């Protein structure tokens, strides 16, 4: 018989504070932010004839690059624009905008934006958080290109100046024809934190270019209502390829995000427009849609702390350390706990690439004295946080609907779902707030352990679950012929959607296994003792039962630590409560 060890919630909070302090989908230092009013809409692509004004940017070598464009129509369009070129830098073109609804066309070339490198106003910046007033007055202290659309003297955060509805578009035949590159100064330090930042820039549209080599983010959209990021390649940045934060009515599409030290695509604190909804599944309104993107060779492909109301579909999320994460872990993010993500028709596979060897040892590239010596431009990735390499997706939130995806060849687990106490991290130790995530998530109709062409490529486990949460269920997931859904549910089967989970507390035997990896630090502790996350497990053998099926995670031997005695007593829950659901295949 299992022995129950009941721990008070204050002790739980202390135990797990270490787990979540270094959890997935890392934090970024930012000013206090809020969601926009939400009255905007996703902007539509505007032609040259439809623009209120047109401004053209080019480089000295643009004419030669244009002559090499294969498609005649694209080549002629560029040649006509070249006659009207007035600026050599994108920021100069932004500064020249006089009317809302302007189109800026960026002709083929490599843009370093050197006038922004050493701003005269840099002495006003102390290296800390950049408030919006400073973004307006001197955005170049951290950004190579800044679009700030709101008057800082207004009480609201809505766009009201000439930069509203601005569209910036590269005119090449391929996103790589127009390259915005940060890189490094002569002393080896980063040129800038961010490539392009759109701040309170409602109606912003950025398209058809490559942005690379920044200390933090290639493209950053902040407190903006209505934006599109289309046909962008964002690569080789220390943190994010694309970061959006406290923004609404967003569309990220046809992108290629790779070799970023945190995430390829990160819509953090997306507007919490469905926070009152009790529906898990398709909804009428999403804060951000991510589609038709290739997220690969990042520490994480996609992530979102408080990634609320995100609709992620028809993407390839492959060959990362971990495929995707939405979570309720890190403090300081509006919209906690995370809720309402819909992941569907994504191909999630091969997320077994560990970059942690780049951080381990004094000769490791990520331990170099300056960023210029690391080798970012050669594709060196320096992981920002310790993560479970070999995982297709991770859910630490509420009302997430993971359905109709193809999930295979992730050597640790296809989908990992668990609970953490974010309220405790926010300094709130009220017991009623400690189980406010890890609930009402559904995992249905996913194709598990085989590729689209039918090759059997199992996940280590299809589903890793810590037994926590109310209303979670797994149903109608399809596996290869002769195989079954693999999981580590302690009570023998995963709840189906007719009998979803009923126990709010976690199985702490599983949760405590996560503790050692919280000690990861890129510089001071890149290989924490007892942490087995930083390398992918061995490749699973088709037809071989995973060790965790009946292994240590689900063994009847040893204690199962259930937390929150008062909560359990109030609910009348006991160990062995009915779990009649069964994972369909």
| Model pLDDT, residue 8 | 45
Own/partner pairs, 48-53, CB within 8 angstroms, 24+ separation: 48/103, 48/105, 51/101, 51/102, 51/103, 51/167, 52/99, 52/100, 52/101, 52/102, 53/97, 53/98, 53/99, 53/101, 53/102, 53/103
pLDDT of 512 reads: 72
Q: Is 155 exposed, middle or buried (0-12, 13-18, 19+ CB in 10 A)?
A: exposed
Mean pLDDT in the chain?
Answer: 87
CA distances from 272 to 71, 207, 255, 285, 307 (A): 43, 26, 24, 10, 8
pLDDT of 282 above 50: yes
Q: pLDDT (tens digit, 9 = 90+) per residue, 35-62?
A: 999 999 999 999 999 999 999 999 999 9
Which two three-digit tokens encode residue 53?
A: 């004004």
- How high is the pLDDT of residue 427? 63
Distance between CA atoms of 546 and 543, rounded to whole angstroms? Answer: 9
**pLDDT average, residue stretch 527-539:** 93
Cβ–Cβ < 8 Å for 336, 426: yes
* Residue 566: band (very low, low, confident or very high) from pLDDT cuts 50, 70, 90: very low
Query: What pLDDT sits at residue 262?
Result: 97
List the domain boundaries for the chain: 9-124+138-571
Per-residue pLDDT for 569 more than 90? no
Q: Are 254 and 206 in contact (CB under 8 A)?
A: no
The arithmetic mean of pLDDT across residues 432-439, rounded, is 81
Confidence of residue 551 (pLDDT cuts 50, 70, 90): very low
pTM, to two decimals: 0.90
- Tell me: pLDDT of 541 over 70: yes
**pLDDT (tens digit per residue) in 7-41:** 444 344 444 444 444 444 444 578 899 999 999 99
Give the tens place of pLDDT for each residue, 352-375. Answer: 999 999 999 999 999 999 999 999
CB count within 10 Å of CB 585 equals: 15
Identify the pLDDT of residue 543: 80
């Amino acid at each position: 018989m299992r022995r129950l060890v009941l721990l008070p919630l204050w002790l739980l909070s202390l135990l797990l504070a270490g787990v979540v302090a270094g959890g997935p989908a890392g934090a970024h230092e930012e000013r206090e932010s809020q969601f926009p009013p939400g009255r905007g809409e996703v902007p539509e692509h505007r032609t040259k004839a439809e623009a209120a004004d047109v401004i053209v940017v080019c480089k000295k070598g643009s004419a030669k690059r244009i002559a090499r464009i294969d498609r005649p129509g694209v080549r002629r369009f560029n040649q006509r624009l070249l006659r009207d070129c007035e600026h050599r830098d994108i920021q100069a073109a932004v500064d020249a905008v006089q009317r809302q609804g302007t189109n800026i066309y960026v002709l083929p070339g490599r843009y370093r934006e050197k006038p922004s490198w050493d701003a005269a106003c840099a002495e006003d910046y102390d290296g800390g958080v950049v408030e919006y007033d400073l973004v307006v007055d001197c955005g170049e202290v951290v950004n190579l290109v800044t679009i700030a659309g709101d008057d800082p003297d207004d009480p609201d955060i809505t766009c009201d100046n000439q930069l509203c509805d601005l569209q910036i578009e590269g005119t090449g035949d391929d996103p790589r024809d127009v390259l915005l590159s940060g890189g490094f100064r002569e002393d080896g330090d980063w040129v800038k934190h961010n490539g392009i930042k759109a701040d309170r820039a409602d109606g912003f549209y950025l398209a058809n270019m490559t942005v690379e080599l920044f200390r933090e983010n290639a493209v950053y959209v902040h407190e903006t209502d209505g934006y599109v990021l289309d046909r962008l390649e964002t690569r080789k940045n220390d943190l994010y390829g694309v970061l959006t934060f406290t923004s609404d009515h967003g569309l990220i599409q046809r992108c290629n995000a790779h070799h970023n030290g945190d995430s390829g695509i990160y819509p953090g604190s997306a507007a919490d427009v469905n926070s009152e909804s009790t529906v898990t599944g398709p909804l009428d309104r999403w804060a951000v849609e991510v589609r038709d993107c290739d997220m690969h060779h990042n520490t994480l492909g996609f992530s979102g702390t408080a990634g609320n109301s995100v609709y992620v579909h028809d993407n390839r999320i492959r060959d990362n350390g971990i495929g995707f994460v939405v979570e309720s872990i890190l403090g300081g993010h509006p919209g906690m706990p995370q809720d309402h993500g819909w992941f569907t028709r994504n191909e999630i596979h091969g997320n077994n690439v560990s970059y942690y060897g780049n951080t381990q040892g004094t000769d490791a590239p990520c331990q170099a004295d300056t960023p210029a010596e690391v080798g970012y431009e050669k594709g060196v990735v320096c992981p920002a946080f310790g993560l479970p390499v070999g995982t297709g997706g991770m859910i630490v939130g509420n009302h997430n609907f993971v359905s109709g995806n193809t999930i295979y060849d992730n050597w640790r687990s296809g989908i990992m779902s668990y609970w953490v106490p974010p309220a405790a991290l926010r300094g709130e130790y009220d017991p009623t707030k400690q189980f406010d995530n890890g609930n009402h998530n559904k995992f249905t109709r996913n194709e598990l352990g085989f590729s689209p062409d039918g090759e059997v490529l199992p996940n280590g486990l299809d589903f890793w679950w810590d037994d926590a949460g109310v209303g979670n269920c797994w149903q109608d997931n399809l596996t290869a012929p002769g195989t079954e859904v693999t999981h580590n549910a302690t009570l023998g089967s995963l709840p189906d959607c007719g009998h979803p989970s009923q126990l709010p507390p976690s199985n702490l035997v599983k949760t405590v296994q996560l503790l050692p990896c919280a000690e990861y630090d890129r510089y001071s502790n890149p290989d924490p003792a007892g942490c087995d996350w930083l390398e992918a497990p061995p490749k699973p053998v088709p037809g071989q039962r995973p060790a965790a099926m009946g292994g240590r995670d689900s063994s009847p031997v040893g204690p199962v630590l259930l937390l929150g005695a008062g909560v359990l007593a109030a609910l009348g829950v006991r160990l062995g409560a009915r779990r009649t659901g069964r994972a369909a295949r």
